Structure 1
Amino acid sequence: MFVVTVTYTAPLNEVDRWRPAHGDWLNQVIAQRLLLVAGRQVPLTGGVYFAAEMTPEELDRLLATDPYVVNNVATHTVVRFTPLLVAPGLEALKDS
């Protein structure tokens, strides 16, 4: 599993221009279970995703299709980890 942080590299008014396309992209990759969770950072300086298990190369290819990255308004930082302990009801994350 991966934790991906998104950092905006452009002013919010430029980021906002791509927000609808980014939202469509997120809905698509979440429906495919490639990303499991997505949300905004507080304060709004970017976002955070949990990504399913895949190779780092597959994740890089996926993240390269994010409209924020395609349009040069954000970057991603990736941390890979192995979930060992999870809250009841989230056991499936140990298999992600």
Structure 2
Amino acid sequence: MAHFMLEITYTVPLEQIETKLAEHRAFLQAGYDQGLLLSSGPQNPRIGGIVIARAASLEAIQAFFANDPYQIANFAEYRFVEFNPVKYQPWLEEWVTGKVE
């Protein structure tokens, strides 16, 4: 299992982002339901968002985020940073090791 920090940067005004926010959050919920996402939220100041995710590969997580309403509407740019979580809270072990469905 590969792990990623995803940086989403808005490329349109916040007013346009707001029109897709509910759809974007529903999309993210699908990722949580699949066990792909650990955490997500807006940056401060609100110029984009951050997601902590996992997937079989970079290509797999990129394919998942290709369906993000922000991506479909061309409202944001995405930067995927793969990392190896060698230290983490003990209660995260099942998610980090991929034992959670």
TM-score (norm 1): 0.92
**Residue 40 of structure 2 aligns to a residue in which SS?**
strand
5+ residue gaps, structure 1, are: none
Matched, 1:28 2:33: no
Aligned to 2:20: 18
Aligned counterpart in structure 1 of residue 87 of structure 2, from 68, 77, 85: 85
Structure 2 CA distance for aligned equivalents of residues 94 and 21 of structure 1: 27
Residue in structure 1 matched with residue 48 of structure 2 by the alignment:
46
CA contact (8 A) 1:9 1:74 kept: yes
1:3 to 2, 5, 18: 5
3-state SS of 2:96 partner: helix
RMSD: 1.2
Instruction: Please list every run of at least 4 consecutive aligned residues from structure 1 whose deviation after the TM superposition is greater than 4 angstroms.
Output: none
Separation of aligned partners in 2, 1:12 and 1:43: 11
Shift of 1:87: 2.4
Equivalenced residue count is 96
- Given that 1:83 and 1:93 are in contact with CA atoms closer than 8 Å, whether structure 2 keeps it comes out as no
Q: Provide the secondary structure at the position in 2 that maps to 1:2.
A: strand
Q: Report the Cα distance in structure 1 between the residues aligned to 2:87 and 2:36, rounded to whole angstroms.
A: 21
SS of equivalent to 1:89: helix
Identity of aligned residues (%): 32
Report what 1:61 is aligned to. Answer: 63
Q: Output the TM-score relative to the length of structure 2.
A: 0.88
Structure 2, unaligned runs of 5 or more: none
| Residues 55-94 of structure 1: per-residue CA shift (max 9 Å, x gap) | 1111111111100010011111010011001123222343
1: CA distance, partners of 2:55 / 2:84 = 9
